[in-house]
């Protein structure tokens, strides 16, 4: 329900009290032309008087001789039977109609603007702490159920074939088989790192929805897929001499 402002309630109460006081005055005083006509414009009184005269002089068969606007004006301007307030008049005898009431909240200035931010503590740090505990539990259980024995001591006189780097460096080792060491070891990784550094400055969209961050999502997806494919090729598709091989035909030349 719409709340009516206080000043309109007070104005309506004062109008009702004034109308009640005028209704209590003697009929003769209320019927005085000067008193009744003081609140109605002169042109409306003349129009209503002409309309009543014309309506009284018209014949029955002529019907509809009085315009609709003149009828409305005459009805508004006609004084009430027991008082000086015209029929259809509002508070204070005014004939203007109040069409709507403006909500008080719509014209008030909003001081504080909502922002899409949260505090680092406890919102962010609590989530990170729970995630770190989950990773710790997973690593602890994995170390219990899965054996990861160490290899024998390194022998300087015997080099394993193929000689592979740890899995997190196999992507770089795979690049060394395709490009010059300057390109594979410096240029390509450097360009990838620079693009990731400048990504937040290129895509400044504050939204955290994936459909609104197409550039950032595409850049990170290309980066991860490029490196993941190189690691998988170096792990499962490289055999003796680091030559390309098929694991389902020649076996798997990879150890954790």
pTM of the predicted structure, to 2 decimals? 0.44
pLDDT confidence of residue 62:
45
Q: How far is CA 40 from the centre of its chain?
A: 51
Distances (CA, A) of 18 to 28, 37, 92, 180: 18, 17, 7, 100
- Domain boundaries in the chain? 6-102, 118-148, 160-256
Instruction: Classify 203 in phi/psi space as left (phi over 0), alpha (psi -120 to 50) or beta.
Output: beta
pLDDT confidence of residue 211:
87
**Residue 247, class by beta-carbon neighbours within 10 Å (0-12 exposed, 13-18 middle, 19+ buried)?**
middle
pLDDT confidence of residue 90:
57
Q: How far is CA 146 from the centre of its chain?
A: 48
pLDDT confidence of residue 70:
53
- Give the residue ranges of the chain where pLDDT is below 50: 27-28, 30, 34-37, 61-66, 68-69, 72, 76, 80
Distances (CA, A) of 204 to 89, 188, 224: 60, 25, 21
Range 160-256: architecture per CATH: Orthogonal Bundle (1.10)
């Amino acid at each position: 329900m719409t709340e009516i402002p206080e000043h309109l309630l007070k104005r309506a109460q004062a109008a009702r009290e004034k109308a009640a006081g005028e209704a209590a005055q003697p009929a003769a005083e209320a019927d005085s032309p000067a008193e009744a006509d003081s609140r109605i414009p002169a042109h409306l009184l003349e129009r209503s008087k002409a309309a009543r005269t014309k309506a009284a002089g018209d014949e029955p068969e002529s019907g509809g001789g009085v315009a609709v606007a003149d009828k409305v004006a005459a009805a508004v301007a006609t004084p009430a039977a027991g008082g000086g307030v015209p029929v259809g008049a509002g508070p204070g005898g005014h004939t203007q109609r109040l069409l709507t009431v403006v909500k008080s909240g719509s014209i008030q200035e909003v001081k504080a603007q909502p922002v899409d931010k949260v505090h680092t503590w406890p919102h962010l740090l609590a989530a990170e702490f729970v995630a770190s505990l989950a990773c710790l539990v997973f690593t602890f259980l994995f170390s219990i159920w899965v054996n990861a024995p160490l290899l024998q001591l390194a022998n300087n006189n015997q080099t394993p074939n193929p000689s592979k780097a740890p899995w997190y460096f196999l992507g770089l080792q795979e690049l060394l088989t395709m490009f010059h060491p300057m390109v594979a070891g410096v240029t390509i990784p450097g360009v990838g790192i620079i693009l990731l550094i400048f990504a937040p400055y290129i895509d400044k969209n504050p939204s955290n929805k994936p459909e609104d961050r197409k550039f950032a999502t595409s850049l990170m997806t290309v980066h991860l897929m490029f490196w993941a494919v190189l690691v998988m090729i170096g792990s499962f598709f490289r055999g003796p001499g680091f030559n390309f091989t098929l694991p389902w035909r020649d076996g798997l030349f990879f150890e954790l």
